[in-house]
Amino acid sequence: MTFSPDLEARFEKLVASYPEGRTRSAVIPMLMYAQDELGAVTPELVAEVAKRCKVPPIQVEEVIGYYSMLHRKPQGKYHVQVCTNISCLLVGGEELYHHASKKLGIGHKQTTADGIFSLEEVECMGACSWAPAVEINYDFHHHVTAEKLDVLLDSLKKPQ
Amino acid sequence: MLFNEPHPLETRVLTKRMHEPGYNGTVEAYERYGGYKQFLKAVEMTPDDIIGEVKTSNLRGRGGAGFPTGMKWGFVPRQSPKPKYIVVNGDESEPGTCKDRVLIENDPHLLIEGCLIAARVVGAERGYVYIRGEYRYLIDIMERAIDEAYRAGWLGKNIKGTGINFDLRAHSGAGAYECGEESALLESLEGKRGNPRIRPPFPAVAGLYASPTVLNNVETFAAVPSILEMGGKAWADLGIEKAGGTKLTCLTGHFNKPGVYELTLGFPVEKMINEVGGGVRGGRKMKAFIPGGSSCPVLTGDEAWPLNMDYDSMAKAGSMLGSGGVILMDETTDMVKAALRIMHFYAHESCGWCIPCREGTAWLKKLLTRLDAGSGSARDIDLVGDLAKNMLGRTFCPLGDAAALPTMSIVKKFRHEFEAKLSRPVSVPVTSPDQLVSLG
């Protein structure tokens, strides 16, 4: 498989980051970064990561099912993650999730027909003092209200 | 970037630089404010002297368990022929906790210097900063800081002519609360599923790649440079007996002014809520209080008001200081729903490795769902308490306890709220177990 020069450089650095004979350590970060470029963990990627980390493919497969951020199907261009865990729940996280669900017309782990948005009700993401919080792809948004979320989602939907 | 206004009652030790005007966390800025000098001091000290200072400081692990750091470092067999490793736990995912974010985002070199000092103590030449996958922007910040440190000669071979070699890397997790548990984190760092290991052996003896490993929370490592700077005694004196220094405390939930604040150990709860946190939202009454993340036993408002924020006070009151993630619930809070949401989390995050936790959290979630929906029976309330109690101490790692403790305390202290939601009078039993399954 060929990747972008940036990702190739990252892969090289990753493999060199661990002691000799310990390249299995690079499996999870490699999947994370490659997934960002490819949109999902594909069977070809599993084979490729196994080859580069010098591990049997089963050792790559077994982590995919375990870690919640690794996924085999593509998500929307913007993956909207709304936290409803306790600190967010207390200040309206659940209402915010329902608002997002209604506005986007999709539920938990679903993607809009145009592929632009996907939605996930997530567990604590470490923004508890600035709740309720939403993470879109890797960008944090704090003290989110329904109005703020509308503006945010509308701005993302516009062709750029 | 700081996300909330600072407060005058804070004692800034770990966060002192980030509050300086124009401070941007680069290596130049860090050096300008005295950064990396404590590492050079550590090079002049013997490992035992450094451990001695850390012991004197009464620094206890800031990730939640509160184990004395100096003692933990002392367990590492320095004479072992195996390589030694430094591992930073930046998996911050205990609900209510968002303090390590503040440290890594605003002062990453402080963490690097803490790692260097630990490396000096045990003779480690490699270290990893394990950061949860959701914190990608922090991994980027950490990587930039590490690159700067290499360029400035604070990482790599023969650092500043001291003869010390140390390589540090940031490592991305991929979404798993369980990986905040130290042995599961090591499994994850080795590229495996984050299942916990049986201990002993502890990571100090057989940690990363079965080698001696110093594994601490971000805040713990970040505290070490200031301990050498001030001296262990002066650092200890910031706090109270048996709990030295300061703690980054996350005020979350129904505060008027939630935020992350650096407070001395032993800070009074009443002052923390009413002054630092601006009081309970809307002037309401405090119904419940969780001192340090959702895995701590829940205290009632009345229990919490007279306490102090330190390990022993909280233990005496039947809870824990934990990670410093304070969760305040005012009188409008539905405690059944809170218990359910907390259990929903633990059921989702149970790694499935051992049965009491895997099955226990799933069943508790079912029972609490039914009670919250108003179709539970009185027996369900007792069953929740019994199930939780039977998970305690019966799992490989503390996740089982983390799920059981808040649940048991909520059922015990807020039983009337569960009873108020029952569909039938308290005297009428019984729901067959078969029915439970169909409701799952």
pLDDT tens figures, B169-190? 999 999 999 999 999 999 999 9
Chain segment A76-87, per-residue pLDDT in tens:
999 999 999 999
Which chain A residue shows the shortest CA-CA distance from B3? A130
- The per-residue pLDDT for B2 is 81
The nearest CA of chain B is from the CA of A28 a distance in Å of 6
What span, in angstroms and rounded, lies between the C-alpha atoms of B249 and B262? 6
Whether residue A159 has pLDDT greater than 60 = yes
Which chain B residue shows the shortest CA-CA distance from A62? B193
Check whether domain A78-157 has CATH 3.40.50.10710, yes or no:
no
- The per-residue pLDDT for B394 is 93
Cα-based distances in Å from B178 to A133, B83, B91, B272: 22, 26, 9, 30
Q: Judge whether B398 and B349 are in contact, CB under 8 Å.
A: no
Give the rounded distance of the alpha carbon of B149 from its chain centre.
27
Whether residue B429 has pLDDT greater than 70 = no
Tokens of A68: 């919640």
Set of chain A residues whose Cβ sits within 8 Å of the Cβ of B346: none
Whether residue B402 has pLDDT greater than 60 = yes
Whether residue B440 has pLDDT greater than 70 = no
- The per-residue pLDDT for B438 is 38
Identify which of B95, B188, B191 has the shortest CB distance to residue A124. Answer: B95
CA angle centred on B406, ends B401 and B408, rounded to 5° = 85
Whether residue B425 has pLDDT greater than 90 = no
Residues 131-160 of A with CB under 8 A from B: 131, 135, 138-140, 142
- The per-residue pLDDT for B160 is 97
Cα-based distances in Å from A150 to A118, A120, A138: 15, 16, 18
Q: Where are the domains of chain A?
A: 5-66, 78-157
What span, in angstroms and rounded, lies between the C-alpha atoms of A52 and B67? 39
Whether A7 contacts chain B with CB within 8 A: no
Q: Would you call A86 and B95 a contact, using CB atoms and an 8 Å cutoff?
A: yes
Query: Going from the N-terminus, what domains does chain B have, and what CATH number goes with each?
Result: 17-237 (3.40.50.11540), 246-330 (3.10.20.600), 335-439 (1.20.1440.230)
At A118 the three-state DSSP class reads: strand
- Is the pTM value of this prediction over 0.90? yes
Which chain B residue shows the shortest CA-CA distance from A21? B209
How much is the average pLDDT of A25-33? 98
Chain segment B214-232, per-residue pLDDT in tens:
999 999 999 999 999 999 9
Q: What share of chain A has pLDDT > 70, as a percent? A: 99
Report the residue of A83, A124, A139 to disrupt the B interface, i.e. the one with the largest count of B CBs within 10 Å: A124
The nearest CA of chain B is from the CA of A14 a distance in Å of 9
Chain segment B40-78, per-residue pLDDT in tens:
999 999 999 999 999 999 999 999 999 999 999 999 999
Q: Work out the pLDDT band at B1, boundaries 50, 70, 90.
A: confident
Closest C-alpha to B88, from B184, B170, B153: B170
Q: Would you call B209 and A29 a contact, using CB atoms and an 8 Å cutoff?
A: no
Check whether domain A5-66 has CATH 1.10.3470.10, yes or no:
no
Chain segment A80-108, per-residue pLDDT in tens:
999 999 999 999 999 999 999 999 999 99
Lowest mean per-residue pLDDT among A66-70, B28-32, B133-137, B434-438: B434-438
At A115 the three-state DSSP class reads: coil
A2 phi-psi bin (left φ>0, alpha ψ -120 to 50, beta other)? beta
Whether residue A109 has pLDDT greater than 70 = yes
What span, in angstroms and rounded, lies between the C-alpha atoms of B71 and B216? 12
